């Protein structure tokens, strides 16, 4: 990972709220993940991914406070015709009504991360800083974030970086191409094994 250094930012709540990448959803009798995955394409990676099956999980059964756990699958992200990150050492955060959020070790990030102004606060994890992601021929503004000094319960996240799937050309968990969590704030990754109602769409922020 090439990092231009941290730039202190005032607490502004800036981040995904300032990014125009709303996902329009139509809610019907189908589960949210089924609606999201209608017509979603799958394609092979450039190299083989670990064949670790994604087991069924209900997001309403995820804990609060959230849980932090290792990810057995390979995580691959691309932007601008180049690999942003490729790792088998990711962590994920699981929280009630959220799609899992994936955090990647800096050693496995190939893109340049340029510090962006602003920060946000999570009651569980602490203060997050945001980054523009420079990869290939593209710049994705405010497309990644990290916790430099997370709370004690999430100390394992220190230095790890999460990316907004909506800002990337593609993001994969194993051989599954992910979709972004609904709405324009949260950064979870939606995969077809998830069941239950995922927050983020209008009217769900209070869940």
Query: What are the DSSP calls for 62-82, one per residue?
Result: S-SS-EEEE--S-EEEEETTE
Report d(CA 31, CA 206) in Å as an integer: 20
Would you say residue 202 lies in a domain?
A: no
pLDDT value of residue 158? 95
State the total domains in the chain.
1
> pTM above the 0.85 mark?
no
Would you say residue 24 lies in a domain?
A: yes
Would you say residue 201 lies in a domain?
A: no
* b (16+ CB within 10 A) / e for 122-152: beebbebbbbbbbbeebebebbbbbbeebee
Would you say residue 139 lies in a domain?
A: yes
Find, among 28, 6, 45, 39, the residue nearest to 192 by Cα: 39
Q: Which domain holds residue 22?
A: 2-43+63-195
User: pLDDT of 67-92, one tens digit each?
Assistant: 999 999 999 999 999 999 999 999 99
C-alpha dist (Å) from residue 25 to 61, 142, 157, 176, 178: 23, 23, 31, 21, 16
Would you say residue 12 lies in a domain?
A: yes
Would you say residue 53 lies in a domain?
A: no
Would you say residue 54 lies in a domain?
A: no
CATH of the domain at 19: 2.170.150.40
Would you say residue 204 lies in a domain?
A: no
Mean per-residue pLDDT for 43-57?
61
User: pLDDT of 165-191, one tens digit each?
Assistant: 999 999 999 999 999 998 777 899 999
User: Which residues, other chains included, contact 200 with Cβ-Cβ below 8 Å and sequence gap of 6+?
Assistant: 181, 182, 183, 185, 186, 188
């Amino acid at each position: 990972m090439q990092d231009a250094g941290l730039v202190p930012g005032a607490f502004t709540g800036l981040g995904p709220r300032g990014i125009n990448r709303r996902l329009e959803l139509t809610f019907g009798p189908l589960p949210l993940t089924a609606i999201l995955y209608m017509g979603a394409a799958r394609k092979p990676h450039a190299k083989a991914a670990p064949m670790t099956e994604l087991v069924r999980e209900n997001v309403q059964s995820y804990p609060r406070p959230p849980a932090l756990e290792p990810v057995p699958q390979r995580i691959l992200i691309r932007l601008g015709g180049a690999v942003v990150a490729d790792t088998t050492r990711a962590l994920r955060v699981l929280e009630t009504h959220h799609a899992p959020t994936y955090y990647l070790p800096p050693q496995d990030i190939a893109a340049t991360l340029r510090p962006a102004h602003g920060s946000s606060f999570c009651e569980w994890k602490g203060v997050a800083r945001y980054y523009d992601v420079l990869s290939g021929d593209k710049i994705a503004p405010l497309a990644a974030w990290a916790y430099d000094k997370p709370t004690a319960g999430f100390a394992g996240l220190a230095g790890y970086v999460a990316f907004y799937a909506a800002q990337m050309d593609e993001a994969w968990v194993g051989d599954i191409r992910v979709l972004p969590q609904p709405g324009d704030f949260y950064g979870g990754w939606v995969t077809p094994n998830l069941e239950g109602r995922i927050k983020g769409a209008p009217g769900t922020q209070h869940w």
